[in-house]
Amino acid sequence: MAKPIGLEVSLAVSEAVRLCDCDVVAAYPITPQTHIVEHLSELVANGHLNAAYIPVESEQSAMSSCIGSSAAGARTFTATSSQGLALMNEMLYIAPVLRTPIVMAIANRALSAPINIWNDHSDIMSVRDAGWVGLFAENGQEALDLTIVSFRVAEDRQVSLPVTLNIDGFTLSHFIEPILLPTLEEVAAYLPPFKPLVKLDIAKPISMGLLGTPESYAESRKATDDVLLGSLSVIKKAFAEFHKAFGREYKAVETYKSDDAETVLLTMGSISETAMTAVDEMREKGEKVGLVRLRVWRPFPSEDFLQAVSKAKNLAVIDRHISLGVPFGPVCLEAKSLLYDAPARPSVTNFILGLGGRDVTREDFKEITQKAKALSGKSQSRFDLIGVWE
């Protein structure tokens, strides 16, 4: 039985990329993602990973290089954060339609302004419609495991789409945690060689990146949406086979003590572990509270989500981003729109916290639980910003 080793979570992601025998890494450093690609450049330079490391001049070039290398049949990885992700924006919308599998770790960080290098989810929310599969890790082991799963999902020929693996910047990326490293052989048995759906090949040329006229643009966007929605079953299968191979189980929607819960909290990312501790403490005092976490953010796991929350009396949706100009956060909007047609639906409230690296504590989840109960059956006109100084 392998022993866990102490490893910074960023480096665990890099090690996972090494174990996946990645062919091309094209990246530009940006806080708090830098350690991931810095360690990858060391692995390549020291001969531990046989890959081309492309030090590009911007994130726009990083993503362009990734699309090109993936189209040429290379297993491709990059990582970024915040402004870097924003600079990639135009290329992010291109990769899914070209069906180029790329794995991108995002050490989630707030978007400027004001300049802020700390954690929230405003970066990933800004590209939620781009067509990428989106997964969230809650701790270091998950970050390593889900990097491997991400390659498997991205390169599955039924999917052939790029994947973002979201890890909270600093609060997850910079922590040193005990991590089990699988062997190269174990990963190779789980992750088959990359056989691209379409490939740039001199012997058999194709044109990629065509003009989509008014007669074909809508059809092409719908075709990509069909593939993205259909990827959920592939993701679930990849989770199930990971469980079989490595003994660690993942689900599209994770639940914690939510079966008999009156009030359910909905979270994504590393704050879920704090929320679990808060749920335990509230349960000890007799509070019927539980937790539901979205592991898969795109494609939105609608049925699993509805099944997990529909029995609750109150649903407190926690967002880590303000969608400026809209009364509710993006996760809450998804939840509310799905629940609108549900035969039985909980009373939904929205809380935003942990913006720009503001600490998220167990007390915050206790406060949210009490507020959700107090608002039960009443309508909330706008999100409640927890811990705001006003």
Partner 1 sequence: MIKGIDALMKASDLPDAFTAEPGSTLAFKTGDWRSLRPKLDREKCIYCAFCYIYCPDGVYQDMGKDEKYFKPDLDYCKGCGICAHECPKKCIEMVLEEV
Interaction pattern, residues 210-229, with partner 1; x per rule: CB under 8 A: x-xx-xx-xxx-xx--x---
Say if CB 329 and CB 317 are below 8 A apart. yes
| Residue 99 is a binding residue for partner 1 (CB under 8 A) | yes
| Residue 207 is a binding residue for partner 1 (CB under 8 A) | yes
Stretch that binds partner 1, among 81-89, 146-154, 197-205, 250-258 (CB under 8 A): 197-205
Output the smallest distance, CB 225 to partner 1, in A: 9
Nearer to partner 1, 117 or 198 (CB): 198
Q: For residue 169, give the nearest of 10, 297, 32, 7 by alpha carbon.
A: 32
Nearer to partner 1, 188 or 197 (CB): 197
Residues near partner 1 (CB under 8 A), total:
22
Tell which one of 7, 19, 43, 97 touches partner 1 (CB under 8 A).
Answer: 97
Nearer to partner 1, 100 or 119 (CB): 100
| Residue 98 is a binding residue for partner 1 (CB under 8 A) | yes
Nearer to partner 1, 96 or 134 (CB): 96
b/e 270-290 (16+ beta carbons within 10 angstroms → b)? bbbbbbbebbeebeeeebbbb
Tell which one of 176, 189, 206, 240 touches partner 1 (CB under 8 A).
Answer: 206
Tokens of 218: 């809508």
Say if CB 175 and CB 205 are below 8 A apart. no
Name the residue type at position 145. Answer: D
Output the smallest distance, CB 187 to partner 1, in A: 27
What torsion do the CA atoms of 146, 20, 82, 250 make, to the nearest 10 degrees? 0
| Residue 208 is a binding residue for partner 1 (CB under 8 A) | yes
Tokens of 222: 């719908």
Stretch that binds partner 1, among 95-103, 119-127, 316-324, 333-341 (CB under 8 A): 95-103
Nearer to partner 1, 4 or 212 (CB): 212
Output the smallest distance, CB 222 to partner 1, in A: 4
Nearer to partner 1, 183 or 216 (CB): 216
Distance CA 352, CA 343 (A): 27
Stretch that binds partner 1, among 82-90, 119-127, 200-208, 271-279 (CB under 8 A): 200-208
Q: What is the 3-state secondary structure (H, E, C) of 229-268?
A: HHHHHHHHHHHHHHHHHHCCCCCCEEEECCCCCCEEEEEC
Distance CA 196, CA 94 (A): 17
Strands 163-168 and 289-294: unpaired
Say if CB 101 and CB 23 are below 8 A apart. no
Q: Which residues pair with 318 in a beta bridge?
A: 351
What are the residues binding partner 1 (CB under 8 A)? 97-100, 160, 197-198, 205-208, 210, 212-213, 215-216, 218-220, 222-223, 226
